[in-house]
């Protein structure tokens, strides 16, 4: 009887560990999928010009956020409040630059096909995930899977994720 109980316990532990690993991977994939979908829907309904302005506003906001001298005034505890304060500051900078770029720079006469739009949406989503890894205190709130860590945690990869939307715009926008 003891052998049966031990076997059931081992199978239960294996099933639980496997389910948690799969759930964690699906959660990370869901984050990418949701961001990609939001960008794609935004670009599809608002137009290619506003979408390009949004992508470019990410870069402008990053520059201001990285040089902002008052980040020490943002809350540091609890972890959720600290994360939302940093994300809120970056989002505020994005909104300001989106409005400026939408009014001044980006034209509605540019062309990006649906496939290009999908690629640019993916690159924008991965840009934000890489930014979350390296600029925001997200690790205190959410633990990504090792697969996501391999792709986004390395400092050397941050440069490539950071430049990917700009490279995509260079090749896909006409």
pLDDT tens-place string over residues 49-81? 888 889 999 999 999 998 888 888 888 888 888
| Distance of alpha carbon 79 from alpha carbon 96, whole angstroms | 26
- Nearest-CA neighbor of 157 among 136, 133, 122, 139? 133
- If one compares 18 and 117, the residue with the highest pLDDT of the two is 117
> For the chain, how many structural domains are there in total?
1
| Distance of alpha carbon 83 from alpha carbon 135, whole angstroms | 10
Predicted confidence band of residue 13 (pLDDT cuts 50, 70, 90)? low
Q: Which residue range(s) make up the domain with 54?
A: 2-172
Q: What is the mean pLDDT of residues 23-46?
A: 83
pLDDT tens by residue, 122-156 = 999 999 888 888 888 777 787 888 888 888 888 88
Predicted confidence band of residue 2 (pLDDT cuts 50, 70, 90)? low
């Amino acid at each position: 009887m003891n052998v049966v109980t031990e076997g059931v316990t081992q199978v239960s532990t294996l099933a639980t560990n496997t389910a948690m690993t799969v759930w964690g991977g699906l959660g990370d994939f869901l984050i990418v999928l949701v961001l990609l979908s939001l960008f794609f829907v935004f670009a599809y309904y608002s137009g290619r010009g506003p979408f390009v302005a949004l992508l470019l506003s990410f870069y402008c906001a990053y520059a201001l956020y990285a040089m902002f001298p008052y980040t020490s005034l943002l809350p540091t505890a609890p972890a959720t409040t600290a994360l939302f304060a940093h994300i809120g500051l970056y989002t505020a900078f994005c909104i300001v630059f989106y409005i400026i770029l939408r009014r001044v720079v980006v034209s509605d006469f540019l062309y990006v096909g649906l496939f290009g739009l999908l690629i640019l949406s993916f690159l924008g989503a991965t840009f934000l995930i890489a930014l979350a890894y390296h600029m925001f205190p997200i690790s205190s709130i959410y633990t990504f899977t090792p697969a996501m860590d391999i792709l986004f945690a390395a400092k050397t990869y941050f440069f490539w994720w950071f430049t990917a939307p700009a490279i995509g715009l260079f090749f896909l926008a006409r």
